[in-house]
Amino acid sequence: VLKLKLYSFWRSSCSYRVRIALAYKGLAYEYVPVHLTRDGGEQHQPAFRALNPQGYVPFLVDGDFGLSQSLAILDYLEQRFPDPALEPRDAQARARMWAFCLAIAADIQPLQNTGPVTYLTQTLAHTEEQKAAWIRHWIARGLAALEAGAGAGPYVMGAAVTLADACLVPQWYNADRWQVDTVPFPKLAAIVARCRAHPAFAAASPERQPDAPAPA
Ligand SMILES: N[C@@H](CCC(=O)N[C@@H](CS)C(=O)NCC(=O)O)C(=O)O
C-alpha cells in the first residue's frame, strides 16, 4: 500500500522541488494531479481547499498526516527518510543551504506564481507583455544574486546534492519557460546541467509527469 501521496501540477516549480526529493530518496508515491488553470484552477475547488486552505500545490499526504509548503515538505521528508541525505549535517552549511532555498522559494517564485501574475493582467489590466517583463525581471535579478554567491560546484553546496539543487533546477525550468537570458549565470547553468543528468532529477521533470501534455 502506498502511504505517500503528492498533489502536484506537472509545470509547478514548487511541486517539482518535492518530486526531486521523493525520487532522490527512492520513495514511491501516488501522484494526484491538480490542474492550476483548467476551469479557473482546480486548486480553488472546495475539496482541495479543505485539504490546503491556501489553494496551492504541492500538498503531501503521509498516512493521515497532510502538509503544505514545499520547504516544510522537503524537511519533513528528510527527517522521516534521512537516507540518502539531502541536507548537510554541519550547522553553517545547513543554514547556507536554507538561505539559498529561501532566496528562490520566498523571494523569486512568489513573484511569478500563477495567482499573483494573473492578478496583474486580469485585475490591474496589465498586458501579457508587461506580465512577462515583470516575471523575467524578478527571475533574472534573483538568479544574478545566486550566481554571484555560487561556489565551485559541482553542486550548489559543493560535493553533495542537497535541497538547494532541488530548488535551483525547478527555478531554472521557469527561467527557460519565460525566456530569461541565462547566459550571465554560467556557474548555475553548470550545476543545473549536472543535476539534470541525475536519474532522480530526470524522473521529477515536468515532461515526465502523468499530467504533462503529450509532446506536440
Ligand atoms: N510557498 C509555497 C508556494 C506554493 C505555490 O506557489 N504553488 C503554486 C505552484 S508552484 C500554485 O499552486 N499556484 C496556484 C495559484 O497561484 O493559484 C511552496 O513553496 O509550496
Q: Which three cell numbers stand for residue 145?
A: 544574486
Ligand 1 atom nearest to CA at 58: 20
Show the ligand 1 pocket: residues with CB < 6 angstroms. Answer: 12-14, 36, 41, 43, 55-58, 69-71, 105, 113-115
Q: What is the DSSP letter of 126?
A: -
Of 93, 111, 91, 86, nearest in space to 167 by CA: 86
Q: Where are the alpha helices (DSSP H) in 25-149?
A: 46-51, 70-80, 91-105, 114-122, 128-149
- What gap in Å lies between CA 151 and CA 188, rounded to an integer? 9
Q: Residue 104 burial by CB count (10 A; 0-12/13-18/19+): exposed, middle or buried? A: buried
Per-residue pLDDT of the chain (216 residues; tens, 9 = 90+): 568 999 999 999 999 999 999 999 999 999 999 999 999 999 999 999 999 999 999 999 999 999 999 999 999 999 999 999 999 999 999 999 999 999 999 999 999 999 999 999 999 999 999 999 999 999 999 999 999 999 999 999 999 999 999 999 999 999 999 999 999 999 999 999 999 999 999 999 999 999 999 987
CA of 115 to the centre of ligand 1 (A): 8
One-letter amino acid at 49 equals R
CA of 15 to the centre of ligand 1 (A): 8
Ligand 1 atom nearest to CA at 109: 6
Please give the model's pTM, rounded to 2 decimal places: 0.97
Contact 46, 60 (CB under 8 A): no
Of 170, 175, 167, 102, nearest in space to 138 by CA: 175
CA of 103 to the centre of ligand 1 (A): 15
CA of 155 to the centre of ligand 1 (A): 25
pLDDT tens across 55-110, in order?
Answer: 999 999 999 999 999 999 999 999 999 999 999 999 999 999 999 999 999 999 99
